[in-house]
């Protein structure tokens, strides 16, 4: 079957043929990422898994996702988002099928790893396509709207997924996801247009030189660690440990947990879309996406602290606020990409994504590992002390990174004022 490359001539066509296909892919990516917050007790009961094993299985998604970010950026800049994403989705479908057939920790780790590898370009591929087809100043708005598709995936991974468990089991759910993933991959391949980028000097630079320029830049070290660690930690918790915490500390049942996560993810979707609109509006007042990110992540620290120390175990609002602000770290993608040419777009975005997903892997596994050390032999019913130890480590890292972010931001503002004064 021969594909027809129709170049979109207006915003509606761009939305239909570029935005929507990639949004469907990101929906699946986030659905895969979030499933185990609901499926954790089913996996534990069927396969006798403890917290460390459950953390390892779930976090394998983030490990392969993160490790593939550097080659992904190069592939996106060289071959384009359409071709790269289509191939990767076939890998994800293979992983989902194998997961549905898994019977031990090793087979499930390998399967989740393939899923993570397969959806590793769902977000960055879209960002690359947006950078090619849309003006840079509109990227924050597009990203905000696009992230809502991920929020929809998280919504489906809450109450709807729990309801689906009454019809099928976790194996059937993953087999169904594998089929849908193949369909979306084919859709992207045949629907998304290609656009030849204008040749320029930046495109001919050696790959290592481009990566060195990105990773040694002041702007990367100012926003990268905070965005990566905050984003990765929130993914680790909301993608797995929110469910066990609500059961062990909040004493909620399965249906109540699913409903709490359902409400939280709806608010996350609304918050993410609103964040993109707010960021686009504040651009008129010279407030950058990075500035908005800093404000939102300051709010993020508050509910995370309350959850970590179990201060309000029956309160739902900390989880809602945590969900709303959790994706603010993604504004760093727009902030970083605005400092580099379009030919760097894939590698610039994946530079932060590398930190984010490696941190998500480490946090998701380490939290379970620490909990198992605090209370060895348990498979459920962990105490607040176990969660304080696991969550607290990453809360501390986020606070440290936030202080560094503020200091470097103030230093940059001071230097700009000094430079401007010298020019005058």
Look at residue 130 in the predicted model and tell me its pLDDT: 81
Q: Is the pLDDT of residue 200 over 60?
A: no
Residue 16: CA count within 13 A, CB half-sphere: 8
Lowest mean pLDDT across 151-165, 178-192, 328-342: 328-342
Q: Are 260 and 319 in contact (CB under 8 A)?
A: yes
Task: For the chain, give the percent of residues with pLDDT over 70.
Answer: 88
Closest by CA position to 249, among listed 156, 162, 319: 319
pLDDT (mean) for 33-47:
90
Q: Is the pLDDT of residue 1 over 70?
A: no
Q: Are 267 and 314 in contact (CB under 8 A)?
A: no
- Band of the pLDDT at 202, cuts 50, 70, 90? very low
d(CA 67, CA 227): 17
pLDDT (mean) for 294-323:
95
Contacts (Cβ under 8 Å, ≥6 apart) of 234: 300, 322, 326, 327, 329
Domain 16-423: which CATH class?
Answer: mainly alpha
Look at residue 358 in the predicted model and tell me its pLDDT: 85
* Token pair belonging to 2: 């021969």
Lowest mean pLDDT across 41-50, 145-154, 313-322, 343-352: 343-352
d(CA 117, CA 355): 15
In the chain, domain spans: 16-423
Look at residue 117 in the predicted model and tell me its pLDDT: 95
Burial group, residue 147, by CB count within 10 angstroms (0-12, 13-18, 19+): buried
d(CA 369, CA 393): 12
Look at residue 198 in the predicted model and tell me its pLDDT: 52
Look at residue 299 in the predicted model and tell me its pLDDT: 95
Look at residue 201 in the predicted model and tell me its pLDDT: 44
d(CA 133, CA 41): 44
| pLDDT tens per residue across span 13-27 | 777 888 889 999 999
Q: Are 77 and 344 in contact (CB under 8 A)?
A: yes
The counts of H helices and E strands in the chain are: 20, 0
Task: For the chain, give the percent of residues with pLDDT over 90.
Answer: 44
- Band of the pLDDT at 88, cuts 50, 70, 90? very high
* Token pair belonging to 17: 């043929």
d(CA 333, CA 76): 15
Q: Are 388 and 314 in contact (CB under 8 A)?
A: no
Look at residue 422 in the predicted model and tell me its pLDDT: 58
Query: In this structure, what DSSP letter does residue 358 have?
Result: H
d(CA 276, CA 328): 9
Burial group, residue 375, by CB count within 10 angstroms (0-12, 13-18, 19+): middle
Look at residue 104 in the predicted model and tell me its pLDDT: 92
Query: What does the mean pLDDT of the chain come to?
Result: 85
d(CA 127, CA 348): 10
The SS3 assignment for 48 reads coil
pLDDT (mean) for 117-122:
92
- Band of the pLDDT at 199, cuts 50, 70, 90? very low
Look at residue 85 in the predicted model and tell me its pLDDT: 92
């Amino acid at each position: 079957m021969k594909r027809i490359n129709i170049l979109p001539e207006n915003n509606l066509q761009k939305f239909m043929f570029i935005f929507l296909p990639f949004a469907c892919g990101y929906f699946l990516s986030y659905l895969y990422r979030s499933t185990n917050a609901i499926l954790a007790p089913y996996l534990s009961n069927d396969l006798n898994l403890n917290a460390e094993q459950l953390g390892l299985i779930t976090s394998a998604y983030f490990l392969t996702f993160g490790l593939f970010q550097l080659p992904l950026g190069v592939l996106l800049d060289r071959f384009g988002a359409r071709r790269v994403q289509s191939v990767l989705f076939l890998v994800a479908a293979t992983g989902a099928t194998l997961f549905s057939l898994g019977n031990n920790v090793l087979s499930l780790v390998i399967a989740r790893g393939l899923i993570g590898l397969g959806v590793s370009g769902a977000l960055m591929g879209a960002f690359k396509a947006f950078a090619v087809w849309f003006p840079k100043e509109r990227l924050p708005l597009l990203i905000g709207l696009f992230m809502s598709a991920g929020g929809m995936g998280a919504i489906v991974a809450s109450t709807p997924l729990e309801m689906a468990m009454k019809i099928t089991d976790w194996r059937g759910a993953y087999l169904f996801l594998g089929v849908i993933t193949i369909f979306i991959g084919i859709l992207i391949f045949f629907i998304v247009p290609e656009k030849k980028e204008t040749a320029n000097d930046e495109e001919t630079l050696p790959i290592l030189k481009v990566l060195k320029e990105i990773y040694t830049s002041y702007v990367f070290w100012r926003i990268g660690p905070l965005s990566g660690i905050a984003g990765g930690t929130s993914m680790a918790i909301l993608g797995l440990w929110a469910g066990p915490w609500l059961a062990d500390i909040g004493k909620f049942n399965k249906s109540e947990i699913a409903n709490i996560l359902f409400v939280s993810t709806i608010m996350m979707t609304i918050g993410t879309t609103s964040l993109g609109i707010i960021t686009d509006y504040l651009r008129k007042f010279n407030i950058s996406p990075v500035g908005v990110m800093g404000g939102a992540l300051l709010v993020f620290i508050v509910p995370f602290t309350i959850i970590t120390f179990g201060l309000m175990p029956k309160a739902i609002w900390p989880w809602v606020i945590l969900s709303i602000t959790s994706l603010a770290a993604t504004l760093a993608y727009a902030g970083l990409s605005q400092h580099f040419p379009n030919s760097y777009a894939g590698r610039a975005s994946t530079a932060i994504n590398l930190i984010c997903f490696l941190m998500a892997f480490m946090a998701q596994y380490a939290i379970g590992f620490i909990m198992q050390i605090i209370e060895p032999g348990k498979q459920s019913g962990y105490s607040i002390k176990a969660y304080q130890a696991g969550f607290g480590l990453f809360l501390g890292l986020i606070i440290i990174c936030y202080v560094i972010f503020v200091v470097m931001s103030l230093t940059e503002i001071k230097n700009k004022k000094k430079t401007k004064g010298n020019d005058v």
